[in-house]
Chains A and B, each alone.
Chain A
């Protein structure tokens, strides 16, 4: 029987450790994804994940169900990421190696039907998106992360970030518009480079 988050929280608050373990198993990957896309480094994201669940466990008694458990957990993780960035006094890191080393393709999980060329293209796009997102203001980046990769509604994001609904929509629109211009420019530059390379080699 699959229990809801609320049921698991109630059981965990009553002392059932296995229920909390189930909550962790359910939400560890999304929290890691959020932290990784916010901070840009695997080790830092792991630290945030562990600390987020430790804080969640310690704060379970004070969680009264006023919001969804996932929203509460996301908020803890976002605060930890924000604190990390401020403490380290640096913007999110984008690990982009020079060129595309075939060995680095091991970082991507290739599907059986995906060719090497598709893998390279996907890798390049992933790096381009990471670079573009890292350059966004924190508010726009956070709104896009929560909406695009975690499926939260506008209202849930507004409640989590404690801002008006219209502000969330504005941040999303502005963020996507900036991303659109940068990605189109990057793709145009990449296409020009490929064309120039082909012409020089022929």
Chain B
């Protein structure tokens, strides 16, 4: 038993079963050296309790739930192209309706070049023809672009956000962590300094009070203490 350090240390920490504890108790009853050893180790454990850890403010800035991201759904490529076409037609139709409703009330500015005696009543027809040609050109250009986009998309169903967006999101989160870390560093420095100053002031006042009391002198502390 005297050489069985493992059994002794388990006994000191009370981390042993009942049988081992009884064995050590029986040995200690007759062995001064081991009894002294156990007593010394227990005193050390008591001294270890004096090792304080200073108070500190929290160094962690709690997570805040991020805004709900757009929920990507499985959308086939052809559906994307069709939706874009519908949006374009709706926009063009809205423009035509707006023109039809608003244009007649607008005051037409007549510009009659001196060398061209064209009557005013022929301008609206030319303008509507120009408008039709413009819309047709726009429609054809958008259609071409949509076909190009649709051709680039994979034939299989699109699911989830693009890979580059995922990478960007990961980079954004990493940047967020770095930013939070820097902010936390500033906050904890300020909190530590503030807490330290407050504690020093409090303890100094306690000591002054004790000294003045011992000397029988009235206690005079700064206003607000």
Contact = CB atoms under 8 A, between A and B. Distances in A.
Interface residues of A, number: 51
A104 to B, nearest CB: 9
A107 B41 contact: no
Nearest to B10: A169
Contacts of B45: 148, 176
Given A21-B62, A169-B5, A173-B5, A106 B199 contact: yes
A96 interface: no
Contacts of A78: none
A49 interface: yes
Interface stretch (B49-57, B81-89, B108-116): B49-57
Contact of B63 (A20, A32, A153, A170): A20
B9 A24 contact: no
Contacts, number: 124
Interface in B27-76: 40-41, 43-45, 47-48, 50-56, 58-60, 62-65
A133 B177 contact: no
Contacts of B10: 154, 169
A180 B201 CA distance: 36
A36 B55 CA distance: 11
A180 B48 CA distance: 10
Interface stretch (B148-156, B161-169, B203-211): B203-211
B56 to A, nearest CB: 6
Contact of B9 (A37, A42, A172): A172
Interface of B: 5-6, 8-10, 12-13, 15, 40-41, 43-45, 47-48, 50-56, 58-60, 62-65, 177, 181, 184, 188, 192, 196, 199-204, 206-207, 210
A1 interface: no
A125 B63 contact: no
Contacts of B181: 50, 54
Contacts of B56: 32, 42, 45-46
Given A28-B59, A46-B59, A50-B60, A148 B41 contact: no
Nearest to B189: A43
A119 to B, nearest CB: 8
B177 to A, nearest CB: 6
B60 A32 contact: no
The 8 closest A-B pairs by CB, nearest first: A106-B200, A17-B63, A125-B50, A169-B6, A129-B51, A21-B62, A106-B203, A173-B9
A37 B53 CA distance: 8
B13 A24 contact: no
Nearest to B202: A106
Interface string A134-171: 00000000001001110001100000000000100110
Contacts of B200: 103, 106
A11 interface: no
Contacts of B12: 176
Contact of B204 (A36, A106, A177): A106
Interface string A12-33: 0000011011001100100011
B186 to A, nearest CB: 12
